[in-house]
A and B are shown apart, each in its own frame.
Chain A
Amino acid sequence: MTAGLFHALVGAALFGIGLHGFVVYPHVVRKVLALNVLGSGIFLIAIASAWDPEGGATDPVPQAMVLTGLVVAVSATAFALALACRMAETTGRTALEDDGTA
């Protein structure tokens, strides 16, 4: 198994773990964390694909994609947490369980 393939498999596993956490846990902070784990999995796959063993060089495009993705993930996380705080203050609830009311 090459290093690139190993990283890609770990990335896929992280994606799966994140998706599982996102679907299963209703607490808002858990969902935010799960999305971040899921995102890290994608970034790991992207970085692993950047290495070209024949040329012995890395391709900068996936790295640029990951950088952009990180910026998005950070701002989306901040926004989600701010909304979650607001929701906790207004409704006193911190979970998005399915109660049919939204």
Chain B
Amino acid sequence: MERPDLTPWPIVIPLFGALFAFLLPKRASIVALVTQLALAVGVAGLAGQILRSGPTRHSIGGWGAPLGIDLRADGLSVAMLAMTALVASISFFHARASFSPRRRSVWPLWLLLITGLNALYLSGDIFNIYVSFEIIGLAAVALAVSVPKGAALRAGLRYLFVGLLGSFAYLLGVVLLYSGFGTLELASLAATVTQAPVVWVSASVVTAGLCLKTALVPLHSWLPTAHAEAPAPVSALLSALVIKASYYVLLRFHFELWPPAVREASATLLGGLGAAAVLWGSWCALRAARIKMLIAYSTVAQVGYLFLVFPLAADGERTAWGAAVILVLAHALSKSAMFLAAGTILDARGHDRIAELGGLGRQFPVTAFAIGLAGVSLMGLPPSGGFMAKWMLLQASLSRGAWGWTVILAVGGLLAAGYVFRIVSLFFQGGETPNTEGTGTPRCQWPAMLLATLAIGLGFLGTLVLRFLEIAVPA
């Protein structure tokens, strides 16, 4: 019997889950749980399929490109799917414990966000990517304002506007590419694209739009408040997963689509902005007054590292490229662990102002450990996933004799150590009487712990992940 093609399932499962969660509001969280389990099975099946038979291509409804929409799955996209399924399903347990049962509208949105992300990673069509961006954007904003307080609403509205502006810029680029080359399919565009003026304009607007969505300095000012004001499990998804979607599209466009001249011109610019992001984000994290703001600024800094890959992999060098993907995975795991841990503290103490938190260690032993482990990965200490990624970036920069990037990598690591120790030290200060704004007792400490452990474990599994990317990426 021929095995069925599993490519569309990571989109179909959460989409139907979202519909059922919407139709059965009283059982929405059960539906969400079942959906996430089914999705994990589906993604594992798809990973097995591409390991066996290489990258897949699936024409929806039998209508092939150029008329229909093609889905495609290769190592990179399945790695992103696996990251999404893993982080979302572990964060789900924290969300279920911390959201009040009355907030049933959260679950359809939660699943819709996953649908959008999966659709984006499987899309082989640049207009389909635009549609996925809008699904992600609307679901993410609706989740961010699911506890509608004043500050969250302002941050959410700004987040929505920025997301829309970024998508429109991307859409303009898509329209220009279509007018120039008459196709929307990524693979056939890559084969036909030439160094025409329309490509330069398109590359500029697409890159600007995607950088805005990924919050690359200087387009980052929306991120800290949007991520810090959202409820903690939502912050975890926004920081770990949503910004990676636009980064993924940038990787695809940069390494598969743009002609070499465009690639060279943009690589140095993106790398320079990435370096600025590492320094500025870390500096702001060192000065942040609240734990969640600190973690959000740390995301700005870590996004900077992701952009260092563009100059370091300029001549198609695979080390730096693989490092970027490992760093995406490591950051997703450690950052979601950090935000969930911050959520536990926030729930118990009723606030997250660093100056007024103390004596956390005795009260939150597991959370303390989770933050420590996640911090190890963020700083890039061995044996974590973050270490492996930064080590590979370092190797790439040394082998090219690019000393400037080496210095940035080293300084960024030191600054990260500084801001991580600002949180860690809270657990070793004694004395402070717990105030009574919050519930007083820590809840749901284990999801953060699990994610942090996985971030460390990625350091051991990294070579496997690299081989997975290597096998499946089409030449």
Residues in B with CB closer than 8 Å to A45 are 172, 175-176, 179
- Separation of A28 and B161 alpha carbons in the complex (Å): 9
Q: Mark B165-183, 1 if CB is under 8 A from A, else 0.
A: 1011001101110110000
Whether B179 and A49, one on each chain, are in contact in the complex, defined by CB atoms closer than 8 angstroms, is yes
Residues in A with CB closer than 8 Å to B127 are 65, 68
Q: Mark B134-162, 1 if CB is under 8 A from A, else 0.
A: 10011001100100111101111110110
For residue A14, give the distance in angstroms from its CB to the closest CB of chain B. Answer: 11
Closest residue of chain A to B134 (Cβ to Cβ) is A72
Residues in A with CB closer than 8 Å to B154 are 87, 91, 93, 96, 101-102
Known: A90-B148, A102-B225. A96 touches B158 (CB 8 A): yes
Whether B138 and A75, one on each chain, are in contact in the complex, defined by CB atoms closer than 8 angstroms, is yes
Whether A102 and B175, one on each chain, are in contact in the complex, defined by CB atoms closer than 8 angstroms, is no
- Separation of A8 and B141 alpha carbons in the complex (Å): 32
For residue B314, give the distance in angstroms from its CB to the closest CB of chain A. Answer: 30
The residue that A76 contacts in the complex, of B134, B149, B150, B158, with Cβ under 8 A, is B134
For residue B269, give the distance in angstroms from its CB to the closest CB of chain A. Answer: 20
Residues in A with CB closer than 8 Å to B151 are 101-102
> Does A24 reach chain B (CB closer than 8 Å)?
no
Residues in B with CB closer than 8 Å to A35 are 161, 164-165, 168
Chain B, interface size: which category?
20 to 34
Residues in B with CB closer than 8 Å to A93 are 154
For residue B126, give the distance in angstroms from its CB to the closest CB of chain A. Answer: 10
For residue A80, give the distance in angstroms from its CB to the closest CB of chain B. Answer: 6
Closest residue of chain B to A91 (Cβ to Cβ) is B150
The residue that B150 contacts in the complex, of A19, A31, A75, A87, with Cβ under 8 A, is A87
Whether B141 and A79, one on each chain, are in contact in the complex, defined by CB atoms closer than 8 angstroms, is yes
Whether A83 and B160, one on each chain, are in contact in the complex, defined by CB atoms closer than 8 angstroms, is yes
Whether B157 and A83, one on each chain, are in contact in the complex, defined by CB atoms closer than 8 angstroms, is yes
> Does B229 reach chain A (CB closer than 8 Å)?
yes
Whether A83 and B134, one on each chain, are in contact in the complex, defined by CB atoms closer than 8 angstroms, is no
Whether A61 and B178, one on each chain, are in contact in the complex, defined by CB atoms closer than 8 angstroms, is yes
> Does B131 reach chain A (CB closer than 8 Å)?
yes
18 residue pairs of the A-B complex, CB under 8 angstroms, read: A15-B172, A22-B161, A35-B161, A39-B168, A42-B168, A42-B175, A45-B176, A45-B179, A61-B178, A62-B178, A72-B134, A75-B138, A76-B138, A90-B148, A90-B153, A96-B154, A96-B157, A96-B161
Interface residues of B (CB under 8 A from A): 127, 131, 134, 137-138, 141-142, 145, 148-151, 153-158, 160-161, 164-165, 167-168, 171-172, 174-176, 178-179, 184, 225, 229
Known A22-B161, A45-B175, A91-B153; further 10 A-B contacts with Cβ < 8 A: A15-B172, A28-B157, A49-B175, A49-B178, A62-B178, A68-B131, A76-B164, A87-B157, A91-B150, A96-B158
